[in-house]
């Protein structure tokens, strides 16, 4: 008796846009202090493009390409790129605010440059912005696991196909939540660095260099005035030069 023929389950990629929510259509009371809308739009566009690539591959019955287009790797690359660019924007905004505050109080170039963010501070900002993506990473892990099941699913394995579709929608919802968390963290970064920027704005140059420079000169000038006024005897070398 021959083995039954296994017919692969046709993969149907769900529409992801409805699950992206505010990643597509933001609803906020005020604009973020760092412009991020272009990054948000590119992230949403990239996810929709991945879905389109997967649907095109499904029409060709290229299962491997379908699963690769909307794989954990593809989603994570899109998210990490958005986080990296957002971090660069925040770093540039903080450095710019410090630089402007320092210039307003006429801080010298060398101490001004020392105030700019260093590598460890930049990495810390990036890590804080990425922290909101923990639930997204967990959803992508689940997507990866169910994709392994659906890769070899037959037409009889309808549950595996439904789980895969739901995992894609869940990943889109988690991406929305991760982005909203990133925007919240960007606002927190402004508050985090406000005190340091205010401290720069309150900076005043030290008076000690001026005191150290002018005190000896003032003493010499006072002494010379007393000599010329006849209140203090002039030393021989000065008396000879002045004709006393």
pLDDT digits (tens, 9 = 90+) for 103-148: 888 888 888 888 889 999 999 999 999 999 999 999 999 999 999 8
End-to-end Cα distance, the chain: 135
**What are the phi and psi torsion angles at 154 (to 5°)?**
-100, 175
The model's pTM: 0.80
DSSP 116: S
Of 94, 81, 89, 87, nearest in space to 126 by CA: 87
Long-range contacts of 48-57 (CB under 8 A, 24+ apart): 48/16, 48/17, 48/20, 50/74, 50/75, 50/78, 51/13, 51/14, 51/15, 51/16, 51/168, 54/11, 54/13, 55/13
Q: Which two tokens stand for residue 102?
A: 């320092």
Domain edges within the chain: 17-205, 206-244
pLDDT at 152 over 80: no
Q: Tell me the sheet residues that pair with 8.
A: 154
Token pair for 226? 């007393």
Collect all residues with Cβ–Cβ distance below 8 Å to 19 and sequence separation of at least 6.
169, 170, 172, 173, 176
d(CA 20, CA 82): 15
Nearest to 94 by CA among 60, 129, 42: 129
What is the model's pLDDT at position 173?
A: 97
Q: Which residue has the tokens 């990425």?
A: 130
Is the per-residue pLDDT at 30 higher than 70?
A: yes
The DSSP code for 112 is H
Give the integer Cα–Cα distance in Å for 47 and 67.
14
Which residues, 6 or more positions from 77, have their beta carbon under 8 angstroms from its beta carbon? none
104 versus 49: the higher-pLDDT residue is 49
pLDDT digits (tens, 9 = 90+) for 64-98: 999 999 999 999 999 999 999 999 999 999 999 99
> Mean pLDDT score of the chain, rounded to an integer?
85
Of 40-54, 114-128, 201-215, give the lowest mean pLDDT range. Answer: 201-215
With a cut of 80, say whether residue 61 has pLDDT above it: yes
Mean pLDDT within 157-170: 89
- Six token digits for residue 243: 């004709």
Q: What DSSP line would sit under 163-216, residue for residue? A: HHHHHHHHHHHHHHHHHHHHHHHHHHHHHHHHHHHHHHHT----SHHHHHHHHH
pLDDT at 3: 47
């Amino acid at each position: 008796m021959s083995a039954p023929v296994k017919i692969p389950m046709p993969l149907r990629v769900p529409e992801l846009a409805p699950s992206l929510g505010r990643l597509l259509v933001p609803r906020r009371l005020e604009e973020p202090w760092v412009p991020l809308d272009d990054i948000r739009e590119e992230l949403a566009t990239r996810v929709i493009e991945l879905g389109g690539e997967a649907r095109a591959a499904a029409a060709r019955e290229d299962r491997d390409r379908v699963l690769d287009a909307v794989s954990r790797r593809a989603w994570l690359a899109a998210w990490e790129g958005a986080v990296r660019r957002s971090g660069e924007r925040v770093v540039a905004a903080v450095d710019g605010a410090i630089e402007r505050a320092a210039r307003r109080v006429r801080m010298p170039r060398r101490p001004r440059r020392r105030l700019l963010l260093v590598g460890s501070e930049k990495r810390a900002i990036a890590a804080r912005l990425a922290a909101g993506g923990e639930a997204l990473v967990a959803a992508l892990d689940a997507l990866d696991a169910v994709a392994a099941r659906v890769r070899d699913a037959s037409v009889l394995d309808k549950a595996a196909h439904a789980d895969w579709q739901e995992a894609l929608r869940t990943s889109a919802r988690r991406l929305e939540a991760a982005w909203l968390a990133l925007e919240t963290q960007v606002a927190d970064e402004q508050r985090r660095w406000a005190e340091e920027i205010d401290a720069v704005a309150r900076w005043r140059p030290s008076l000690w260099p001026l005191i150290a420079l002018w005190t000896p000169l003032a003493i010499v000038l006072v002494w010379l005035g007393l000599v010329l006024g006849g209140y203090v005897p002039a030393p021989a070398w000065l008396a000879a030069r002045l004709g006393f």
